Amino acid sequence: MIVSRWVPLLWTTAMVAGCWYLTETLSVRNDLEGLLPDGATEAQQVLLSQVRQGLSGRLILLAVEGAPAEELARLSRSLAEAIRANGTIGIVANGVDDDQETDRFLIERYRYLLSPAITTETFSVAALRTSLEQRLDDLRSPLGVLIRDLIPTDPTGETWRILQTWSGGNGPMRYRGVWMSPDRSRALLVVAIKGGGFDVDVQESIQTAIRALFDQVVKQSGIQARLHMSGPGVFAVEIQRAIESEAWQLSVVASVLVVGLLYVSYRSFRLVVLSLLPIVTGVVAGVLVVNQWFGFVHGITLGFGITLLGIVDDYPIHLFSHLSGHESAGSVMRTIWPTMRVGMLTTVIGFSALLLSGYQALAQLGILAIVGLVTGAFVTRWVIPACIGPRFIPLAVPRHVASRLDLLSTGQVLAVTVLILASAILIWSDTPMWEQDVTRLSPVPEEKKLFDQQLRRELGAPDVRDLLVVEGSTIEELLEKTEVVAERMEHLRTNDIIKGYDIVSRYVPSRRTQLERQRRLPERTVLERNLAEALNGLPFTPGLFSPFVEAVQRSRLQEPIGPEAFAGTMVGVKVESLLFSQGGRWMTVVLMSGVEDRWRLTEAVEAWKDLSISYVDLKEESNRVMTAYRDRTLQLLGWGIVAIGVVLAVGVRSVAVAVRVLTPVLCALLVVAAILRGVGEPLSLFHVATFLLVVGLGLDYALFLNRPGCEGEERLRTNFGLLVCSGTTIVVFGVLAVSKTPVLHAIGVTAASGALCCLFFSVVMARRKAYVA
């Protein structure tokens, strides 16, 4: 047997080379971007770019708790200083005014172009007189100390007005100069992180850095306090880490159980070790191909893919179960190979549905599974037989176990009852058929979501859900349009359709508007004359307002400013998130809050009859994206089953056998759907994707049972093999089903119950041939 010596050697060489190549080239990415579906429609794309780089994704909300308010205020100041000094994290705001220095600088220079209150009237004698009298009253009011220094340069109060417009009201409550919750139990800070990407690793390193700075600050001050972080980025990191650690723990548990089961079944360490070869090879090959194809492997694909490839284990199990000691492993393999081949082919067809779903994460999963499956089957076909020596004597098949399975073949009554019951549940259950709310798939605990919402309320941070998308071909065109939209928004607000809104024109006026304001600024002589007349009889120090005259004159010659001038400021962060280019066009979003009646809002927006403005309900929209993918996957599942039917019919050269093989699988799907519905789980994309896996498993079972010559001793061996196969599958996915992560749980429950149902229906519907015990 020269071959048997060369094959293991070749395999070892290939594996070593593959592993080496992987360590050199493998790039695992954890950004959510790679995982998110690319929206098909424009509205979907906007939604996704909002999620990926929008303000909400870049904001981390910080809450410092657990100390008296005075000390919290002190900690808030020190923490903000530390974050600012660090320089790599981003922009931080905690209510202290000095963080607005750059904003103030812009206002100081451009207030006559930025202020919405500039009209031709502003600089008339009468209006100036009113302004000056107001400033006099300000001076003798508690406001005096705040605005005293501004009076000589800005007697008409534009600075105040602009700040008021920008903050959109009064902003969060303050205590000792910093933002604090109304009950003063926590100091509030906001960090807008640098960069637009939504990389979980970057997010995590930033969050770790913030935490380290906080610990340092706490240590220096000696005040005991806690730091809470919230926001989409924080959740993303938590989800990722939770899934990772869970996937790790669950796979360790599952592996131990599977190896245990295999050992109990075959009582041979050698077979247990050999059964791992196809899986390991499949994983290495699959990851390699995905990495070459996409340039990276997503962390989550890696985790799920390896779990999916657990089914490769079925191939060596079939082989081991058919070993009798009379024949060499190679010749046993040759007899069962045609069946295994058809099974592999049909499973591959099932998984190709994932490839076509258009959802990158599912596509990666599909390729990983297909390559792994084919490789695993080939390793079982050629490598394992070469590793089992001709003198290997396997454990005799435990007849009492294997034969008992055949008792089920008399269970048609039971099968029919189960099917009727399942149909009844499917028809009459109260559980909605499909999961409509994507947020329910999120593993973030409810109390954390509530805490996040509370922080948002206290901070006045937007909870992005309802928005208008406005388009334009240039920034200027878009800004001019938003100025019109802003008036309409004000109308919506006064009509109580919305409570508030945030629009880019609030921060950056269009060039046209700025130039118009500029034209309203009077010449020096006119201004001086008006001012002198207005000052008549007022007790202001002579010459006090010459800085004002200079500032107005300077503004008359200024070049208008655009959005880029705000870079690096808190307002800039806001502007960036509201205004972005997409495929050569410019887009802006108008965030709306307090939308009570979405139907009225939709009607109001439609009444504008402006095609460049569309209303998007983000929550509805993300549900729609997921629903679209689910429907597509469902459709592919349907076509997949048809294709599998054809391949089957050709492969086994009999339509009757193909029907006999396919029927139990379809029955199993029906029952699994009923089980899920019965336990109150609406179906999501992940359930549907797992149906494919169930189809693959079930076909294998049915194919082996309906193999020509599957009777007598052979039938016993097949039964035993199927028991071990389904046993390992149920163990692996049953462990997954206890996961707290909704996605993992969905896959686990579906696959475990699917394997059980497939086994049951396959045996019940298998050809009944009496065997000799």
Partner 1 sequence: MKLRRLKVVSILIAGVFGLIARGMADDLSETAWTLERLAALVKVQRESTIFFEETTYSSLVTRPLVTRGVLRFTPPSRLEKEVQEPYRERYVIEDDLVTVESERRNLTQTLSLDGYPGLRGFVETVRAVLNGDVKEVTRDYDWLLEGGKHRWVLRLRPREQSEGMIESIELTGTDGHLQTIMIRFAGGDRSVMTLLPGRLP
- Given a contact cutoff of 8 angstroms between Cβ atoms, the answer to whether 748 and 734 are in contact is yes
Span of 144-152, 399-407, 570-578, 677-685 interacting with partner 1 by CB under 8 A: 144-152
Q: Measured between alpha carbons, how far is residue 80 from residues 96, 224, 546, 567 in Å?
A: 9, 17, 38, 20
Span of 172-180, 191-199, 201-209, 711-719 interacting with partner 1 by CB under 8 A: 172-180
By the rule CB under 8 A, 121 interacts with partner 1 = no
Q: Measured between alpha carbons, how far is residue 687 from residues 491, 498, 623, 681, 749 in Å?
A: 45, 38, 16, 10, 9
Q: How far is the CB of 148 from partner 1 (least distance, A)?
A: 6
Q: How far is the CB of 140 from partner 1 (least distance, A)?
A: 4
Contacts of 246 (CB under 8 A, 6+ apart): 739, 740, 741, 744
Separation of alpha carbons 210 and 64, rounded Å: 12
β partners of residue 614: 469
By the rule CB under 8 A, 152 interacts with partner 1 = yes
- Given a contact cutoff of 8 angstroms between Cβ atoms, the answer to whether 464 and 56 are in contact is yes
Q: How far is the CB of 498 from partner 1 (least distance, A)?
A: 21
Q: Cβ closer to partner 1: 490 or 564?
A: 490
Interacting residue with partner 1 among 13, 41, 167, 177 (CB under 8 A): 177
Interacting residue with partner 1 among 1, 17, 117, 146 (CB under 8 A): 146
Q: Cβ closer to partner 1: 148 or 399?
A: 148
Q: Cβ closer to partner 1: 164 or 439?
A: 164
Span of 46-54, 168-176, 227-235, 560-568 interacting with partner 1 by CB under 8 A: 168-176
Separation of alpha carbons 674 and 749, rounded Å: 12
Span of 167-175, 216-224, 395-403, 566-574 interacting with partner 1 by CB under 8 A: 167-175
Interacting residue with partner 1 among 10, 19, 125, 136 (CB under 8 A): 136
Separation of alpha carbons 585 and 472, rounded Å: 6
- Given a contact cutoff of 8 angstroms between Cβ atoms, the answer to whether 548 and 516 are in contact is no
Of 471, 466, 493, which is closest to residue 481 (Cα–Cα)? 471
Interacting residue with partner 1 among 22, 139, 355, 356 (CB under 8 A): 139
Q: Cβ closer to partner 1: 109 or 184?
A: 184
Separation of alpha carbons 700 and 167, rounded Å: 64
Count Cβ neighbours within 10 Å for each residue of 673-701 and write b for 16 or more, e otherwise.
Answer: bbbbbbeebbbbbbbbbbbbbbbbbbbbb
Interacting residue with partner 1 among 134, 216, 249, 412 (CB under 8 A): 134
Interacting residue with partner 1 among 145, 414, 526, 679 (CB under 8 A): 145
Using DSSP, state whether 725 is helix, strand or coil: helix
By the rule CB under 8 A, 117 interacts with partner 1 = no
β partners of residue 191: 60, 92
Q: How far is the CB of 100 from partner 1 (least distance, A)?
A: 15
Interacting residue with partner 1 among 84, 104, 109, 176 (CB under 8 A): 176
Q: Which two tokens stand for residue 469?
A: 């998308």
Q: Cβ closer to partner 1: 16 or 143?
A: 143
Residue for token digits 């194809």? 293
Q: Which two tokens stand for residue 474?
A: 């240039």
Q: Which two tokens stand for residue 332?
A: 């046993």
Classify the C-alpha dihedral 74-79-85-87 as positive or negative. Answer: negative
Q: Which of residues 669-698 bind partner 1 (CB under 8 A)?
A: none
Size of the site for partner 1 (CB under 8 A): 27
Q: Cβ closer to partner 1: 140 or 391?
A: 140
Of 511, 517, 506, which is closest to residue 480 (Cα–Cα)? 511
Span of 139-147, 462-470, 645-653, 748-756 interacting with partner 1 by CB under 8 A: 139-147
Interacting residue with partner 1 among 8, 66, 124, 175 (CB under 8 A): 175
By the rule CB under 8 A, 582 interacts with partner 1 = no
Q: Which of residues 202-261 bind partner 1 (CB under 8 A)?
A: none
Q: How far is the CB of 180 from partner 1 (least distance, A)?
A: 8
Q: Which two tokens stand for residue 211?
A: 């935490």
Q: Which of residues 386-405 bind partner 1 (CB under 8 A)?
A: none
By the rule CB under 8 A, 170 interacts with partner 1 = yes
Site string for partner 1, 183-202 (x = CB under 8 A): -x------------------
By the rule CB under 8 A, 487 interacts with partner 1 = no
Q: Cβ closer to partner 1: 142 or 583?
A: 142
Q: Which of residues 308-367 bind partner 1 (CB under 8 A)?
A: none
Interacting residue with partner 1 among 144, 197, 358, 547 (CB under 8 A): 144
HSE-CB at 113 with a 13 A cutoff on CA atoms is 24
Q: Cβ closer to partner 1: 21 or 540?
A: 540
Separation of alpha carbons 651 and 345, rounded Å: 9
HSE-CB at 417 with a 13 A cutoff on CA atoms is 4
Q: Cβ closer to partner 1: 127 or 634?
A: 127
Q: What does the radius of gyration of the chain's CA atoms come to, in whole angstroms?
A: 35
By the rule CB under 8 A, 137 interacts with partner 1 = yes
Separation of alpha carbons 92 and 190, rounded Å: 6
Q: Which of residues 528-547 bind partner 1 (CB under 8 A)?
A: 539-541, 544
Q: How far is the CB of 175 from partner 1 (least distance, A)?
A: 6
Q: Where are the alpha helices (DSSP H) in 560-684?
A: 570-578, 598-607, 618-652, 655-678
HSE-CB at 131 with a 13 A cutoff on CA atoms is 26
Alpha-carbon dihedral angle through residues 530, 533, 534, 536, given to the nearest 10 degrees: 160
- Given a contact cutoff of 8 angstroms between Cβ atoms, the answer to whether 17 and 284 are in contact is no
β partners of residue 579: 588
- Given a contact cutoff of 8 angstroms between Cβ atoms, the answer to whether 198 and 32 are in contact is yes
Residue 340: alpha-carbon gap to chain centroid: 37
Span of 141-149, 418-426, 427-435, 660-668 interacting with partner 1 by CB under 8 A: 141-149
Q: How far is the CB of 174 from partner 1 (least distance, A)?
A: 4
Separation of alpha carbons 580 and 586, rounded Å: 6
- Given a contact cutoff of 8 angstroms between Cβ atoms, the answer to whether 181 and 64 are in contact is no
Q: Cβ closer to partner 1: 146 or 738?
A: 146
By the rule CB under 8 A, 83 interacts with partner 1 = no
By the rule CB under 8 A, 148 interacts with partner 1 = yes
Q: How far is the CB of 80 from partner 1 (least distance, A)?
A: 14
By the rule CB under 8 A, 142 interacts with partner 1 = yes
Question: Tell me, what amino acid is at 624?
Answer: R
Interacting residue with partner 1 among 163, 173, 242, 257 (CB under 8 A): 173
By the rule CB under 8 A, 149 interacts with partner 1 = yes
Alpha-carbon dihedral angle through residues 765, 766, 771, 773, given to the nearest 10 degrees: -80
Question: Tell me, what amino acid is at 493?
Answer: R
Span of 56-64, 131-139, 487-495, 762-770 interacting with partner 1 by CB under 8 A: 131-139
Q: Cβ closer to partner 1: 166 or 434?
A: 166
Span of 136-144, 606-614, 694-702, 721-729 interacting with partner 1 by CB under 8 A: 136-144
Separation of alpha carbons 610 and 482, rounded Å: 12
Interacting residue with partner 1 among 55, 107, 118, 151 (CB under 8 A): 151
Q: Cβ closer to partner 1: 424 or 544?
A: 544
Q: Which of residues 735-764 bind partner 1 (CB under 8 A)?
A: none
Positions in the binding site for partner 1 (CB under 8 A): 134, 136-137, 139-146, 148-149, 151-152, 170, 173-177, 180, 184, 539-541, 544
